[in-house]
Structure formats: structure tokens, C-alpha cells
Structure 1
């Protein structure tokens, strides 16, 4: 017979469990209860998934103006030739790694919003990321744009109304609630599939420690129910991997399909986008990783019959310089394309072509669409919250993407 778990062992296990979820005991209890309820919930509410490409993706080598000669003048070694792209029309094309994105575009479910930015764009990773996440270019804010949406929409104060998966972001910072973060779905899986002897030892330890403390016992009960009822699985064969970005997106798809009450998810693909040198091959590789996973996520949502409930927005904190540098790479720039994907999205091109003949004082593209127009459109046209309610009383152009 195994020895009872010590207080130190129990506290260690408890902390690992809670930090794996990014949850307090109360939130862990709520999370468990929501998963239990999910079997009988058939939600039709809209869901938003925000994906940040962290590091500053080179938008000009993502959606390529292969029909414009000035593109090749600016990028004589890292530019893509006309036989190396997937054509959208006679001027624009997908980078050759983006076969999945091209397929989604062909389905009419991808909106490509060109030249997105804001005045006096920051070229600092940290500052630019915070600007996008808070939608505040001019002053520091304590709340994020998605967090402000939850302050208005989450009337029941549901702690699972929003969720961060494998990302560090201010986008979900809110005044009314702190939303959980799941750093690693593998830890989530480990917690949910605890062995029987581990559960028994935990039962004895927590019963001895908590006695009549209902909060601890209710968390224990809820976690046991979670173990018994969860439908969590590793990523299917749709995904290129069982780890990292694949696992994050697969986990989000499972949560949405389960009927979980979460209405907003934030995640990221980090690393590989800050291409200051030798960009030609490395950028293609990171775009391929992004593309394969995003297309798998799209197919996963469609197979689970929830694609019409979901809108995915993909952005990076800034684009790259128009001209390549001496190291065969690109330095920090400004305006960039943003992707919006979903079953109810009106696919197509939005905004003007990149203008190589009207650059700013630094030789970068001038933005054509304010990023707050994109987020404001998502808030108002998709999530049902007036743009000015999350944009500090201001309104921006509504894009006809729905």
C-alpha cells in the first residue's frame, strides 16, 4: 500500500496542476464544470480566434505583388519570380508555401486586408505588439481590445468566456475578470489522465487538508468529473505535428466543438519571422509551418461542423522594409496584410495594392487601412459590440468582410 501524500507533495502537484492551466482553484473548478456541461451544450454563439505571428512577418513576401516591377527592383535576391508563386490575379500571388491559404481563398472564406497599419508605426517588437493588443498607438493602456469586449459581453462573469493558449498577450486583459492561460496542452492532457493511484493519494491528502473547506473539495470533485468526462485528444492526422502550434490549434478546435462557453481565444506562432538575414529559405519554412497548421485548423473546424461559428484573424506586429538589406534579409517595417478567415467571411482582396512610389520618410509603405478598422469590424459585425465601445469612444471604417 502506498504512503499518503505529504503536504509538500500535494502542494507541488496542486501548483503544477493550476499553473499548467494558468488557473486559480476557482477558475479550475469552473473550467472542469464547463467541460462536463459541454456534452449537452449545442452552442451557436460566434467565436473569435486571434492568432499573432510574433516577430514581424514579411507581408511583402507573403502576399507578393509579382506583377509590379518595382517589387523586383527593391528585392533583387529575395524576391519571388512569377513561376515561384501561387497566383491570385495578374498582380498579386501567395508565396509558394501557402497552398492551404490559397485553398481557403479559393473557397471564398479568406479576406486579405492589405496595407494595414497605423500612424507613426513603431518598429519595436515589444511596443508594436502591445499597440496591436491594446489597440492604443498613442498611450499605454491596461486593457486589451478583446478584454474590453469581454467586459461588455460577459454579463454572467463567466471566467471561461475568454482563453489564452500558449501565448503571452495583453489582448485579453480586462477590468472585470482575469482570464486563464493554458501554457501547454500536453500538461492539460497529463492532468486529465491521472492514474487511479495518483487520484486516490490526492483524495486522501486533500480530504485531510481541507476537511470542511467546500472550495477545495468542490475543486477536487470537479477535477475528477473532468478526468472522467473529457474528450481531449492529441491532434489528428490533419495536423503536421502533435506539439507546439499544432497542439494549440487542435486544442482550440476541440474546445469550440465541445460547446465550451469560451467566445474568444488568443494564441500565437512565435519565432522565425524576424528575418534580418538570409530570408529567402527560412521565411518559406516558417510560412509553411503557419500554412499547414492554419489549413489543418480550418479543415478541423469544418469537419466538426463549427466553421460557420468561428472567425480567425491573423496579424503580425509589423511588416518588413520594402528594400532588402545587405545580408539578404529585411529589417523592421510598417504596413502588412491581415487575414480574416471563417465560414461567414466574404473572401477576397480588401484595400489598395502596395504603392512603391509613395513611401514614407523611412522608405516604408504608408498604411491604407487602420488596424483598428479591422478589430472594430470584428467587434461590431461579428461579436455584436459597437466599435466605439472598445476603441475609446472612436469609430473607424467598417470593412465589408461579412
Structure 2
């Protein structure tokens, strides 16, 4: 049986766990950073997320006569760029310089397939034979202090966490994980057990022990500031906030917000998606500040690609290339990073030409959070995203 075994609790799959020995570590706070990844699944439209103003706005309107956000609706950040109006909850984070926005993030020879492009982002490699995530490769290099796992909260795949070196727990909520684990009983190991059964028994026993420790931590009933929206993303962020505030030591969390494949009727859909993202993110930031952990947080968005520069005939945009990437946290160097892609010089498909390779962002985040990078990111210079 493979070491990263998939386990189902009950008739409905509500939690999946991938284990290695010494699953959880509960430590006192130190210098460790907590990386939180949010996958904007489907391909987020960067041009309507960060809207061009000034001279660029006229070019933008020509490309998108129906989809363009008018200048009087845009929340201005500078004379040249502004937020989609749905991102209003992030204004305070921008003003306090806890929000960095990277322009034109993409990669050479862009692939417009959802499946292949997200594989490239997840593995940080164009090599189709590499299947392990970039964070798994990083933790293979840096090792584990107590084999602390990552957590995928609320569904979605492991993505950059996938592989044998970064034990990952997938849960819809800590309470459901604990409740389901109580249906499993501790079994005494016997020498007569064959290796496969012995491994299953040991894993089962670790589930029980982990749930007990987790329940003990959560009994602290930490009070969180901020109002988390009653959306899937809002609930996911609230669960992560409680785990962090209760002292559960996990270096990496991942969430997913789907729906960004906006080929049709984009304007209304995209506005709701960005509102969901902004409200949940702002609530999480407020909670982390209240419990004194904001300086330990690095929150990063990513998406498999951006959208076509021009709108299509169905009130939407088709698969494109470069987009914007957000990073938030107390140690983030707020403001714009990288060069904006040109709206005049598009590629032969009518797409934006990327200006920042996403592996430069990954390289920077890996070194800041965990002190090392990996071979896959060699040659991609770090950015000044922290300081």
C-alpha cells in the first residue's frame, strides 16, 4: 500500500487524510511562517481584477467595450491602477501596505488547458514527468520538525502539496474531522500482523491520537475578531483562523475558490467571486491581527492563467495567459511589483505577454517562509516582496 493512503470516514467522504509517522506537532510560537494558498480555480481575469486607469483605460475599453469596468466605478489605488469595486474590503490592507500585487504573472510557452496549466503551476515545472508539487519538493529538501502536515481546507485538490514528503490532511472542518475520527477505535499492534495490516493499524491509531490532541487544542475556545462571511470560503478561512489561534502548528494551508472560468456573462459572476474573496480575506486578516499572528502569515493567490485581453461574443472572456497575483501578510512589502504587460503589444493569439515568471514569486515565498528554495526555481530571480 502506498504511504499516502486515502481513507474514507463513513458513507460520505467528508475527510481525506494522507499520513506519515509523527503526524502533528504542537509547538509554542516561534519564527516559523504560515503559508496560506488560495487557488482561484478556472483562470482569474486579471484585467478586471486590477483595472487600468489613465492612458491605459482607453486601450482597455477598446478591448472590452461591454466588460470594461468604468473609471467612476473603479477604486483607485494610484493614477494608473485601481481595484474592481468588489475588492473594497481590501482597501485598508492596501493602505497599510500589507498587500502586494504582482503584475503580469505567467510563464513562457503558455498552455491554455486548465489541466495542463495548473499542473505547471502546481509543480513549478514544464516537465510533464514531474508530478509532485513544488511544496512537497521543498519539504523533501528542508525536512520536517516532527513531520508537521499541511491542511487542505474545505475541499479541492492538494495541488502544490501533492507528494510523499508533505503529509496532508483534507478536512471540511476540524469538528467534523474530530467527530468522524471518534468512529475509529484504537487497536493494539500485534507482531503477527502482515506489513500492510500493520501499517493500516498504525495509521488508524495515529488518526485517533491526532483527533484527541486537536480536540484538546480547540477546547481553548479562542475568540476571533472579524465577521467571516457565511460562504464556503468564509467558513474555510474561519476554520484556519481557529486552528492558528489555538496553537495548532501547521506550516501550509490551502483553500480553493472555484468559478473563475468566465466564458459567459462574466461581469456578474466575476463581481460575486471577487466580493467573496475580498470579504473572507479581510475577515481572516482582522482575526490574525487580533490574536497577534498577522506578522507570521503569508497569504498568496494563484490561478492557472488569466483571460484573453479582448472580450468574446458571449459576455465573457476566453482562456488567456498572464494575470495578477496577490500576497498579503504583516511582513509583505505592500504595493505593486513587476512590470505591467502591454495592452498594445499582444501575442499572436491576442493575449497579454507575461512580464514576471510565477516561479520568481514561488522562489521568493519559499525563501522567506522556509529559508530555502528548490532546483526547479533555479534561474528565477527573487522579488522584493518582503521587508
- For the superposition of Structure 1 and Structure 2, which TM-score range results when normalised by the shorter chain? 0.7 to 0.9
Cα–Cα, structure 1 residues 75 and 234, in superposed 2: closer, same or farther, change >3 Å? farther
Q: CA deviation at 1:25?
A: 7.6
2:143 is aligned to 154
Partner of 1:391: 376
1:192 counterpart residue number: 178
Q: Distance in 2 between matches of 1:190 and 1:382?
A: 30
Q: How many Å separate the matches in 2 of 1:176 and 1:226?
A: 22
Secondary structure, aligned partner of 1:355: coil
- Structure 1 distance, partners of 2:110, 2:212, is 49
Pick closer, same or farther for the CA change 1:112–1:50 going to 2, 3 Å.
Answer: same
Deviation at 1:360, TM superposition (A): 0.4
Q: 1:22 aligns with which of 8, 11, 16?
A: 16
Work out whether residues 149 and 169 of structure 2, in 8 Å CA contact, stay in contact via their aligned partners in 1. Answer: no
CA–CA separation in structure 2 for the residues paired with 1:323 and 1:169: 32
**Secondary structure of the residue that 2:159 maps to in structure 1?**
coil
Residue 108 of structure 1 deviates from its aligned partner by 0.3
Match of 1:93 among 67, 77, 82: 82
Q: Tell me, yes or no, if structure 1 residue 326 matches structure 2 residue 313.
A: yes
For residue 47 of structure 2, what is the aligned residue in structure 1? 60
CA distance, structure 1, for counterparts of residue 98 and residue 10 of structure 2: 40
Across the aligned residues of Structure 1 and Structure 2, the Cα RMSD in angstroms comes to 2.8
In the TM superposition, 1:156-171 aligns within 5 A as: 156=145, 158=147, 160-165=148-153, 166-171=155-160
Contact kept in structure 2, 1:301 and 1:307, CA below 8 Å: yes
**Partner residue of 1:132 out of 102, 108, 121:** 121
Tell me the distance in 2 between the aligned counterparts of 1:139 and 1:264. Answer: 25
Match of 1:342 in 2: 329
TM score, norm. by length of structure 1: 0.82
Secondary structure at 1:330's aligned position in 2?
A: coil
1:238 aligns with 2:227: yes
Bigger mean CA offset, 112-121 vs 144-153: 144-153
Aligned position for 1:247? 235
Q: Distance in 2 between matches of 1:190 and 1:325?
A: 43
- Establish whether residue 288 from structure 1 lines up as the match of residue 281 from structure 2: no
Contact 1:145 1:390 in 2 (8 A): no
Contact 2:75–2:84 at 8 Å: present in 1 too? yes
Please name the residue that 1:75 is paired with: 64
Q: What are the ranges of 5 or more consecutive residues in structure 2 without an aligned counterpart?
A: 1-6, 191-200
1:10 corresponds to which residue? none
Q: Which of 133, 140, 145 does residue 134 from structure 2 map onto? A: 145
Q: 1:101 to 1:222 in 2, by over 3 A?
A: closer
Give the count of matched residue pairs: 365
Q: Could you say what secondary structure the match of 2:83 adopts?
A: strand
Q: Does the 8 A contact of 2:245 with 2:291 survive in 1? A: yes
Q: CA deviation at 1:304?
A: 1.4
Give the drift of 1:229: 4.5
Is the 2:97–2:335 contact (alpha carbons within 8 Å) kept by the matching residues of 1?
A: yes
CA shift for structure 1 position 55:
0.6
Q: Distance in 1 between matches of 2:240 and 2:36?
A: 9
- 1: CA distance between counterparts of 2:163 and 2:23? 18
For the pair 1:312 / 2:305, whether they are aligned, the reply is: no
- Match for residue 369 of structure 1? 356
Describe the superposition over 1:349-371 as per-residue Cα deviations: whole angstroms up to 9, x where unpaired.
Answer: 11223311111010111000001
1:309-348 CA-partner distances (Å, limit 9, x unpaired): 1101112111111111111111010000011111011101
Q: What secondary structure is seen at the aligned counterpart in 2 of 1:97? A: helix
Decide which structure has the larger Cα Rg and report it: 1
Cα offset, 1:24, TM superposition: 5.7
